[in-house]
A and B are shown apart, each in its own frame.
Chain A
């Protein structure tokens, strides 16, 4: 580029900056927010490679390299966390993932608009309820001290089950809560996909004598297949995320061995016990694997002919 062109370029840049000065002023609060609350913490990840001591401060604390990671991988806790996380994700995949699809298909078969709309209105409600309320409801209904479910059990079998403190019941409870809370909400995207199916296809199929089962198999399912595939692939990206709040609220000393996952472990060690560097390392391990999974699944989504997220 010639000197003159460079100069012009610089001038137009300056002009553009000046012209848009109000826009840049408007951008400031948002930019500051992202820098302070998102980017400064990223830099704080360096703690994972230091032996952070609050009294000495961030700068003077000594570097220890990957020491914390070594300790973590040799700790039996590591396998417990990995196992709990993966099993919960697997259960979610098997029991929760198909639920909104089936529900959407059933809703789609309903002809009466009023009935359909009423049901939709009802099943979306739990999505907006806080996890604390969901856990509270679970406690109130399942407690052995006058909880409705146990009173029923007692009346019929003469026994009570301590659902809340039993390791065997932890995973089923988590999945049931998730289904109750998010299943209805999850139908929205499938119902939208179903609404996009060309009615003429059904009409042609009926002329050909296809039963409703045939229509479902040959028209309805293929038309939402791409939505199912992309949601399934994207789900893979969040395998290590089990939802901190839900697990934290449902965990107690008696079911900890099956309940503790990466996030709750980071909280317990970092915030409550002050092991900042070690728990930062655990958190970093989780985020790095998480990013790889997200990027990988996104790549897979694009490969399979979908648009992907990024």
Chain B
């Protein structure tokens, strides 16, 4: 609105607004900055002064401890495995189902769509789902963290809508050139859908990395715990030093508080790494989701 006359109260408001929003933005990331700096400090320093941004005594002990502890390393491995394989499974299931559903002339299309939408409204609930997982002998397997969430109905419908928007002439042209359905999907539709697929790859991956609920329900065996469950054990149930030493004979008593902070950092880093890529896409993704079709 350019340079125009502004009253004093408006100027005051502007100043207040900039300051408030800057503080709010800072609040969103400040906890991580404290935790990151805390993870590089020694416990003595953390107990001496609770607040600091740059540790006086820079120490890598907490990280050395984490990367030398089998239990934590194993859970990081579990999380990476579930994130990679789980995301591949998600994409495969979502794309293969969304593609036929995007065909307006497919027989039974509406029935399938209703079948999917109904699951968004009503579900069997925690216990019946748990019992199905148990009957399938998936308890205490990493598949229980992957298969029960193979498709998000919401994402499926968004991808279906995206496929539907592609120009129908493409399909005819490709068929004339001798493409069958599979090569049409692989050679034409998927390359054209890169932006939307990138979005869902990231969303699914973040979901797997952050998943806690499924593991809480389906995994009892501590050697198969993903990082999020391990994190809870260490930070909230304060299980680090004593319990871990009994599992790991090479254990050296580490600084307690900085370990907690370092584990939080390790649990967050992948998110902060993909965030710049996510950010390009998500505003569009969210708005795509709010427009139904």
Q: Is A270 engaged at the interface, CB distance under 8 Å to the other chain?
A: yes
28 contacts between A and B (CB under 8 A): A20-B107, A22-B180, A26-B99, A30-B93, A33-B150, A39-B115, A43-B124, A44-B124, A111-B1, A124-B282, A128-B275, A130-B271, A131-B210, A132-B210, A132-B267, A133-B231, A136-B232, A136-B236, A140-B38, A141-B34, A151-B50, A188-B286, A189-B286, A245-B212, A267-B126, A270-B127, A271-B126, A294-B121
Q: Is B13 engaged at the interface, CB distance under 8 Å to the other chain?
A: yes
Answer whether A122 and B125 are a contact pair too, CB < 8 Å, given A33-B150, A147-B50, A192-B287.
Answer: no
Query: Chain B 144-159 against A: per-residue CB contact (8 Å), 1 yes, 0 no?
Result: 0001101100001000
Q: Is B142 engaged at the interface, CB distance under 8 Å to the other chain?
A: no
Docked-complex contact A146 and B46, CB < 8 angstroms: yes
Answer whether A27 and B31 are a contact pair too, CB < 8 Å, given A128-B275, A129-B268.
Answer: no
Query: Chain A 85-126 against B: per-residue CB contact (8 Å), 1 yes, 0 no?
Result: 000000000000000000100110111000100110111111
Docked-complex contact B35 and A33, CB < 8 angstroms: no
Which residue on chain B has the smallest CB distance to residue A244? B213
Q: Is A240 engaged at the interface, CB distance under 8 Å to the other chain?
A: no
Instruction: Name the B residues within 8 Å of A43 (CB-CB).
Output: 124, 128
A-B pair count, CB < 8 Å, reads 251
Report Cα–Cα, A35/B290, bound state, in Å: 26
Q: Is A40 engaged at the interface, CB distance under 8 Å to the other chain?
A: yes
Interface of B is mostly: helix
Docked-complex contact B210 and A270, CB < 8 angstroms: no
Number of interface residues of B (CB under 8 A): 96
Q: Is A158 engaged at the interface, CB distance under 8 Å to the other chain?
A: no
Which residue on chain A has the smallest CB distance to residue B130? A271
Instruction: Name the A residues within 8 Å of B58 (CB-CB).
Output: none
Most buried by A among B35, B217, B232: B232
Report Cα–Cα, A148/B282, bound state, in Å: 34
Q: Is A3 engaged at the interface, CB distance under 8 Å to the other chain?
A: no
Binding site for A on B (CB under 8 A): 1, 4, 7, 10, 13-14, 17-18, 20-22, 24-29, 31, 34-35, 38, 46-47, 50-51, 92-94, 96-97, 99-101, 103, 105-107, 112, 115-117, 119, 121-132, 136, 147-148, 150-151, 156, 180-182, 185, 206, 209-213, 216-217, 228-229, 231-232, 235-236, 257, 260-261, 263-264, 267-268, 271-272, 275, 278-279, 282-283, 286-287, 290, 292
Report Cα–Cα, A180/B156, bound state, in Å: 29
Instruction: Knowing that A29-B92, A211-B7 touch, tell me 6 more A-B residue pairs with CB under 8 angstroms.
Output: A42-B124, A125-B29, A136-B231, A147-B50, A189-B290, A266-B126
Report Cα–Cα, A16/B216, bound state, in Å: 46
Docked-complex contact B235 and A37, CB < 8 angstroms: no
Answer whether A202 and B1 are a contact pair too, CB < 8 Å, given A23-B103, A41-B129, A106-B21.
Answer: yes
Docked-complex contact B107 and A122, CB < 8 angstroms: no
Answer whether A135 and B125 are a contact pair too, CB < 8 Å, given A26-B96, A122-B26.
Answer: no
